[in-house]
Structure 1
Amino acid sequence: MKKVRLTTTIMMMTFLSLTAMSCKDTKKENAHDSTTHSEMNHDKMDKSNDMMDSNTQNSSAQKVLADYMALKDALVETDKDKAAKAGNKLNNTLSEFDISNYTAEQQKELKDIITDAKEHAEHIGKSEMDHQREHFKTLSKDIMDMVAITGTENTLYQQFCPMYDGGSAWLSMNKDIKNPYYGSKMLKCGKVQKEIN
């Protein structure tokens, strides 16, 4: 059931991304991400093996991203209980993250990122809304660092709110701004910093 929901979400987001791109020219800032992705797969014999290896690597990362997006949406809705549940789920997903298909250097970086991200997800799971949002800021940085290593199957939008805590970023699968740091108080506060493919 989870796989069906995740697949449906991915398909919907892909459709929305393609629709948005066809309506408007977009600026791509993904040279580093695609270089990293092709370097991870450079030793494979053929394209089908590359895709299988890439899919193996991305499945753990996609689960983390799906849980992160659920947490972000709960914060947008200013729903403390829903955010706590999403934080706990993300903590569990991070615990199960399979780093075995990455290089030794990437594994070391991912271990550090996951350790830090788990700590923040755990705090979100047992905190009040204001504290949840404080931890979400650092958690978002961890997830961005993870995506820089793992790549992404979906187009992601790195968004930025200049008002929250001296400026705070987050990831979204949608170009439209829905601010997780302020919710309905300042829902549209922010801008897209970059597109990640």
Structure 2
Amino acid sequence: MSKLKSTLGVVAIAFITLTAVSCKDANKNEAPTPMVNQMHQETMTDSEAMAINSSQDSKAEVILKDYFNLKNALVGDDNAKAKDLGMALTQSLKSFDVSSYSDTKQSELKNIIIDATEHAEHISESDIAHQREHFKILSKDITDMVAITGTNKKLYEQFCPMYDGGSAWLSMEEDIKNPYYGSQMLNCGKVQREIN
């Protein structure tokens, strides 16, 4: 029996070491790939981020603000706050007006908004593990939305190779703060590309 415990202990240590090394390798500084000609090429400071560029849809910026607040709640392992912010994001998604976009873009945006709203609603009703599952798909929806609407902020698409076969999210900071693992593996991930 003690031989079994020793073997299990060694396996557990090996797994933890492998996980830490895998995550550390993913953190190696690779030059982020800039996204060309798909976004506005304007960079803003945090204080300027509150001022909405007249060519931008202020409702899209509100959605981004709510998304980043939700991401930060998940980084902080705060289930209750994430529920409240999921509801706030649901409301900002529902109030998004697509009428200023071309017919094709309107159709794409409507589909993105419907899907994102469903995931934000689930986040507002779930435990933190389930919130993180929905946040993965929500992050893809928000990234797709930004590809159409643009943004007046410099964003970073970040990637964690460990969560669910690899998962991305958006951040306003280059430093990695992982919303999928929170305090368990806070800095697991890397910047995949810059969006500006």
With structure 2 as the length reference, what TM-score do the two structures score?
0.76
Question: Deviations along 1:16-54, whole A, 9 cap, x unmatched?
Answer: xxxxxxxxxx756232314xx69xxxxxxxxxxxx74x1
Give the counterpart letter for 1:194 in structure 2: R
Distance 2:61 2:181 in 1: 26
1:119 aligns with 2:118: yes
Residue pairs, 1:57-96, within 5 angstroms? 58-96=57-95
Aligned to 1:150: 149
- The answer to whether the 8 Å contact 2:32/2:191 transfers is no
Residue 175 of structure 2 is aligned to residue 176 of structure 1: yes
Q: Which segments of structure 1 move beyond 6 Å, counting only runs of 4 or more? A: none
Question: 2:34 matched to which residue of 1?
Answer: 29
What SS is found at the alignment partner of 1:32?
coil
Unaligned runs of 5+ in 2: 1-30, 42-52
Question: Aligned pairs, how many?
Answer: 155
- Cα gap change, 1:151/1:189 in structure 2, threshold over 3 Å: closer, same or farther? same
Partner of 1:134: 133
Identity, % of aligned positions: 60
- Which amino acid in structure 1 is aligned with residue 69 of structure 2? A
Give 1:143 deviation, angstroms. 0.2
In the alignment, the residues of structure 1 paired with residue 62 and residue 147 of structure 2 have an alpha-carbon distance, to the nearest angstrom, of 16
SS in 2 for 1:192: strand
The one-letter code of the counterpart of 1:127 is S
Instruction: State TM-score, norm by structure 1.
Output: 0.76
Structure 1 unaligned regions, length at least 5: 1-25, 39-50
Q: CA offsets per residue over residues 159-197 of structure 1, 9 Å max, x none?
A: 000000000000000000000000010000000000000
Q: Secondary structure at the match of 1:170?
A: strand
Deviation sequence 1:129-185 (CA, Å, 0-9, x none): 000000000000000000000001000000000000000000000000000000010
CA–CA distance in structure 1, aligned partners of residues 143 and 97 of structure 2: 17
> More relative contact order in 1 or in 2 (CA 8 Å, sep 6+)?
2
Say whether 1:188 aligns with 2:187.
yes
Q: For 2:123 and 2:155, how far apart are their aligned partners in 1?
A: 23
C-alpha distance in 1, partners of 2:61/2:184? 30
Tell me the equivalent position of 1:99.
98
Give the Cα–Cα distance (whole angstroms) in 2 for the partners of residues 73 and 118 of structure 1. Answer: 19
Deviations 1:82-109 (A, max 9, x none): 0000000000000000111111100000
Conservation of the 8 A alpha-carbon contact between 2:32 and 2:192? no
